[in-house]
Amino acid sequence: MKADEIRRMAAEQNAVILAHNYQRPEVQDIADVVGDSLELAIKAKETTADVIVFCGVDFMAETAKILNPGKRVLLPVREATCPLAEALTPEMVREARSRHPGAAVVLYVNSTAECKAEADITCTSANAVGVVRSLEEEEILFGPDANLGCYVQRMVPEKRIIPLPPGGHCPVHQRFSLDDVKQGRERGDAVVCHPECPPEVQQASDLIASTGGMVREAGGHPRWTVLTDAAMTYRLSREFPGGVFHPVEGAECEDMKLTTIDDVLHALRTGEYNVEVDADIAARARRAIERMIAIRR
Ligand code: 13P
Ligand code: SF4
C-alpha cells in the first residue's frame, strides 16, 4: 500500500511529514503532524528530522526552510502557491514604509520570503492580535490580507492598521457571504469563520478562528457550519467524531488540493522539490519569523 511505503521511506530517511489542515483527507492521514500555519512553523523549527516534507503551499515550505537552513525541505508539488501571498511585492512594502516611517510592518506568513525580509515581524491568523498588541508602534502596516487586518483592528482598537495592499484578499475566503451564515443558522448550526472572510461575515459568525483555533474550540458546540476550505471539516470530524461539520460546497483552495499521496511518495523517492531560499533573504526573513514564534499566540 502507498501509505505503508510512505511511512517506511519516511522512517528510513528520518523525514517528518507536515500537512496543513486544508490538505486532502488521504494526505492528512499519512502525515506525522496536521495543523495550522503557526503550529506547522513551530513544528518545523523544533523537529529533529533531517528532511521535512511539507504538504501545503510554497510560502509554508519556504518558512520551514528559513527556520532550518541546514535541512532538506521538500514541497511535493512545485506549483502549489498562494495567490494572496503573490499579491504583495517587496517594492510595495518598501514604498509603504517610506510613506509611514514610524509604522511597524507586520506581514501575514502568507507572503513571499522576499517580503518577509522587509517585515519587522510576521504573524499568522492564530497570533495576529497578540503580535500587533506586542508592538510599541501605534501605526501598523499590515498585509497582505485586508480582512485579517480588519479583524485585528476590531480586536486592537488602540492601534491604527494600514492595509498593505488595500483590499488584499484570499480568493477562497472572499467568496463567503452573509447567505452562507444564514444557511448555516437555518440548519441549526453554529457558524465559525476564518478571519480571512469578509468583515460582515466575521461579524455575523459565532466564532472567528484560525484553522488551529477551530480545532481547539469546536468541542464547545455539536454542530457547525465551517466557513473556510471544505477539507477543514475532515480534520474537525477526526478530532470530534460525534460532531456535525458542514462545509460550503465549492469552498476549496485549489493549490492546497494539488498534493496527492502519489506526490508525497514521489518527493520521498526523488527528493523533489527541494526548497531553496537565498541566504541573505532567509537571514532577514528569519528574524521576523523568529520574533513571531517567540510570541506564539
Ligand atoms: P491558518 O494559519 O489558519 O491555518 O490559515 C492558513 C491559510 O492559508 C488560510 O487560508
Ligand atoms: Fe492562500 Fe487562500 Fe489557499 Fe490559504 S486558502 S493558501 S490564503 S489561496
Q: What is the DSSP string of 127-143?
A: THHHHHHT-S-SEEEEE
Q: Where are the alpha helices (DSSP H) in the chain?
A: 2-12, 25-30, 37-46, 58-67, 83-86, 90-99, 113-116, 128-133, 146-155, 178-186, 199-204, 211-217, 232-239, 261-270, 279-295
36 CB near ligand 2 (under 6 Å): no
Question: Given this model, what pLDDT does residue 184 score?
Answer: 98
CATH superfamily of 2-82+256-276: NadA-like (3.40.50.10800)
Tell me which residue has its CA closest to atom 8 in ligand 1: 110
Ligand 1, atom nearest to 20 Cα: 4
Q: Which residues of the chain have pLDDT under 70?
A: 297
Cα 14 vs. chain centroid, distance in angstroms?
Answer: 25
Give the three-state DSSP class for 146: helix
DSSP letter for 164, please.
S
Element (DSSP H or E) covering residue 72: strand 72-74
**Annotation: CATH topology of 173-246:** Rossmann fold (3.40.50)
Question: Given this model, what pLDDT does residue 89 score?
Answer: 98
Closest CA to 211 of 31, 19, 8: 19
Q: Are the C-beta atoms of 192 and 224 separated by less than 8 Å?
A: yes
From the CA of 297, the nearest ligand is: 1
- Residues near 153 by Cβ (< 8 Å), separated by ≥ 6? 159, 161
84-169+284-295: CATH class: alpha beta
Task: Annotate 224-238 with b (16+ C-beta within 10 A) or e (fewer).
Answer: bbbbbbbbbbbbbee
Tell me which residue has its CA closest to atom 2 in ligand 2: 170
Q: Mean pLDDT across the chain, nearest whole number?
A: 97
Question: Given this model, what pLDDT does residue 114 score?
Answer: 98
Question: Given this model, what pLDDT does residue 88 score?
Answer: 98
DSSP letter for 274, please.
B
Question: Given this model, what pLDDT does residue 132 score?
Answer: 98
Question: Given this model, what pLDDT does residue 135 score?
Answer: 98
**Dihedral pair phi/psi, residue 233, rounded to 5°:** -70, -30
Contacts 24+ apart (CB under 8 A), 150-157: 150/199, 150/202, 151/195, 151/199, 151/202, 151/208, 152/128, 155/129, 156/129, 156/132
Q: Are the C-beta atoms of 29 and 288 separated by less than 8 Å?
A: no
57 CB near ligand 2 (under 6 Å): yes
Beta carbons within 10 angstroms of residue 187's beta carbon: 13
Question: Given this model, what pLDDT does residue 94 score?
Answer: 98
Question: Given this model, what pLDDT does residue 67 score?
Answer: 95
Burial class (CB in 10 A: 0-12, 13-18, 19+), 39: buried
Question: Given this model, what pLDDT does residue 21 score?
Answer: 98
- Residues near 256 by Cβ (< 8 Å), separated by ≥ 6? 20, 22, 23, 56, 57, 80, 229, 231
From 77, 110, 254, 258, the mutation candidate for ligand 2 (largest count of ligand atoms within 8 A of CB) is 110
Please report where in the chains the cell 507572503 appears, as a residue. Answer: 111
From the CA of 56, the nearest ligand is: 2
Q: Which part of the chain is CATH 3.40.50.10800?
A: 2-82+256-276, 84-169+284-295, 173-246
